[in-house]
Structure 1
Amino acid sequence: MTRIKTIVLTILTVFVLQSCNVGTTGTWKDENIEQSLKNEIETLDIKVLEAVTTNNIELLKSIMSDKLLEKSGDNIGQLLEQASSVITTTDYKVLNQFHTKNSTTGIGNTIVSGVSGLNDYTVNYQALNEEMFISLLISKSGLDEFIVTNIYGNYPDGWKLNILHFGQYKVNDKTAPELYSEAKVEHENGYLINAANNMFLSSRVANPVNNFWQYQKEEEMKGFYEKVMKEINSKYKFPMTLEAIDSKPQILSIYPKGTEEGYFPMIEYVTNLDLKDTVKTNAEYEKVHSEIIKAFNGIEKNKDYVIYKAFSEIPNGKTPVPTYGFVKKLK
């Protein structure tokens, strides 16, 4: 079975829920929201980002609702510390904003960004207030984008945070549906590994606001990913020995490796050669590359690099194993 390595994403959630009541809801989006209200929310959004980037617990607490303060307990410091590892600047762009008015409290709010666009989504939460506001902010870090979800309630003393969430919105400068769209084209072209790698990345950012968020194409994406993985598992068996090479290296795994320039295929394999003999291992790696592009159709297509890591033995995940890396520049 192909082993795909997990990408570690920072996904943190602080939220409060209460029992659902029945009522009616009216929602305004983006340019249909009164500018004076958007200005008021902007002030709070900036405070959230400032609190994260400066690790200012008291600033964040000052705009949190009592119920959120109660629910989060002593975890605010940990939340800020982890969030600040990916939210490193107060610069942001607004993805979408929604202003909601409910006939009563405690009802479920379902916010729909659209129904036919590639990246359309819904946000679901329970409204603690008759008047709510969702502000979805995008913070960019290299080829990745992170989404800060601020859901406010209007209290007698003003707008306060009820829900605060940090998650990854884009990986390799693409959303989950955009990666899915690319994967479908690659699959049609017979580039099975490329399709699998893109669907793996897609799955990592498929729910950028955790259970609150659902892309309109979510079930479609899941079904396609399952289909691709079934094809992978029926076609390839790992470890896979490259019999055409005298030293008989074994391919262990193929997965997308993140770099500052983007994500590229990473090939991990076991060599029977002495890793200290760089002349022989380099010659073997060149042969490995030739066999890889034969075995995995299209793996080098539209790529700047293919990355290789040779192991002296199959790693067991417990004891460190000597390795040596190679980068095949394609362009």
Structure 2
Amino acid sequence: MTPNPLLIKLFCLLAVFSVLQSCSPHDPGTWKNGEIESSQKEDFHALNKQLLEGLKSNSPRQVEAVMSEVFIEDVNRLRLIELCSNRLKEDSYTLLDEYYVVHKDRGDKTIETKDRNINNYSLHYNAETREMYMAFFVPKSIPNKYMISAVYCKFNYGWKLTRLELSPYTYNGKTAPELFEEAKKMYDKKYLLDALDDIQLAQSCANPYEGWQYQDESGMGDLHSKVIEELNKKYVYPFTLEQVPTHPRIFSIATQTTPEGVFPLVYYKSTVKLSDAAGLKKENDNIKKVIGKLIPGIDQNKKYVYYDAFNEWPRSDRSVDRVDLIDKLK
């Protein structure tokens, strides 16, 4: 029996239509983490692997292989690759969150994340193409984490990286909302300096990606202003530690960022010669005995307090000698 040519053509058309349907993109929607189909996830993770390997080895050529044509023309890309490379050498990075999005139209979009409790956030971005993929990477174990954010768009020449960012995500192992909560606790205890440090760190890592906005940021600015006002009333720099026989004068208190976290740094002017190591240590031991009474909380619940001793006031036109001392509290 001779096959009917019309039936053969109809069968071929149906087969082609079926293939096209299976290859067509999803209807508009957002898929997060485990919701992304495994086959798509494999492709996305292959892109991520190539990107992270290129960044870690500081290889512009390897990174540019996954970049969009516009991104490759960005004059700042080489410096950004170098900065990401430095961070990737600090610790192993892991995928925090990933999103595959199919848009109905272009323009400003928002994704709401509601499964991270105090760390819930909104993700604001511009829908450049119908299909986009966003991945956010953070270090596994270090306390001061920088987030690497990668945004890909699907063009007619394939999936390409259109945005790469590097910004603080945590300090002392805490995100911005967690630091904000800690700042409020410190303020209630009247640990004003600790409250100031926590709120400033919270503000520094409140936007680990340009479009990342935590849902509970309200009040950060108000608390910061309130703490500053109270500290300015309580401490007028420089002030003398009358309880210490050598009468050192504290002229500033800042923070020291280390691989183990962020800790207080006390600057003071000493009458003890910087060359007198034994004399400086004795004076510093005496400072450590009274510092917690003068500045409540500064020597509590932290690993270190750092000190810088000077014999003359710092100057803006030249460097001034100093001696670094560390109080190991734990």
- TM-score scaled by structure 2? 0.85
Q: Does 1:102 align with 2:103?
A: yes
SS of 2:237's equivalent in the other structure is coil
Within 5 A, what are the aligned runs for 1:1-331? 26-70=29-73, 72=74, 74-88=75-89, 91-105=92-106, 107-114=107-114, 117-140=117-140, 142-209=142-209, 211-331=210-330
SS of 1:178's equivalent in the other structure is helix
User: Partners of 2:267 and 2:88 in 1: how far apart?
Assistant: 31
Task: Name whichever structure is richer in helix by fraction.
Answer: 2
User: Partners of 1:45 and 1:53 in 2: how far apart?
Assistant: 12
CA drift of 1:64 comes to 1.3
User: Partners of 1:153 and 1:244 in 2: how far apart?
Assistant: 64
User: Partners of 1:52 and 1:27 in 2: how far apart?
Assistant: 28
- Which amino acid in the other structure matches residue 50 of structure 2? K
- Which amino acid in the other structure matches residue 165 of structure 1? E
SS of 1:276's equivalent in the other structure is coil
Relative to structure 1, the CA distance from residue 327 to residue 92 in structure 2 (aligned partners, 3 Å threshold; closer, same or farther) is: closer
Structure 1: give runs of 5+ residues left out of the alignment: 1-23
CA drift of 1:135 comes to 0.9
CA drift of 1:228 comes to 1.7
SS of 1:125's equivalent in the other structure is strand
Of structures 1 and 2, the one with the larger relative CO (CA 8 A, separation 6+) is: 1
- Which amino acid in the other structure matches residue 95 of structure 2? V
Query: Residues 108 and 127 of structure 2 are in contact (CA less than 8 Å); yes or no, is this contact kept in structure 1?
Result: yes
Corresponding residue for residue 19 of structure 2: none
Corresponding residue for residue 10 of structure 2: none
Q: In angstroms, what is the RMSD of aligned CA positions?
A: 2.2
SS of 1:285's equivalent in the other structure is helix
What's the CA shift string for 1:140-189, capped at 9, x where partnerless?
A: 47322221111111122321111111122112222111111112111112
SS of 1:218's equivalent in the other structure is coil
Query: Residues 91 and 142 of structure 2 are in contact (CA less than 8 Å); yes or no, is this contact kept in structure 1?
Result: no
User: Partners of 1:247 and 1:54 in 2: how far apart?
Assistant: 52
CA drift of 1:34 comes to 1.4
What's the CA shift string for 1:12-67, capped at 9, x where partnerless?
A: xxxxxxxxxxxx96322222221211111101111111111112212211211223
SS of 1:85's equivalent in the other structure is helix
Deviating more after overlay: 137-146 vs 247-256: 137-146
User: Partners of 2:112 and 2:188 in 1: how far apart?
Assistant: 31
Query: Residues 49 and 90 of structure 1 are in contact (CA less than 8 Å); yes or no, is this contact kept in structure 2?
Result: no
CA drift of 1:231 comes to 1.7
User: Partners of 1:259 and 1:78 in 2: how far apart?
Assistant: 23
User: Partners of 2:50 and 2:86 in 1: how far apart?
Assistant: 17
- Which amino acid in the other structure matches residue 251 of structure 1? I
Relative to structure 1, the CA distance from residue 202 to residue 121 in structure 2 (aligned partners, 3 Å threshold; closer, same or farther) is: same
- Which amino acid in the other structure matches residue 168 of structure 2? Q
Query: Residues 264 and 307 of structure 1 are in contact (CA less than 8 Å); yes or no, is this contact kept in structure 2?
Result: yes
Runs of 4+ in 1 over 6 A off after TM superposition: none
SS of 1:257's equivalent in the other structure is strand
- Which amino acid in the other structure matches residue 208 of structure 1? P
Deviating more after overlay: 290-299 vs 75-84: 75-84
CA drift of 1:315 comes to 0.4
User: Partners of 2:219 and 2:179 in 1: how far apart?
Assistant: 13
- Which amino acid in the other structure matches residue 267 of structure 1? V
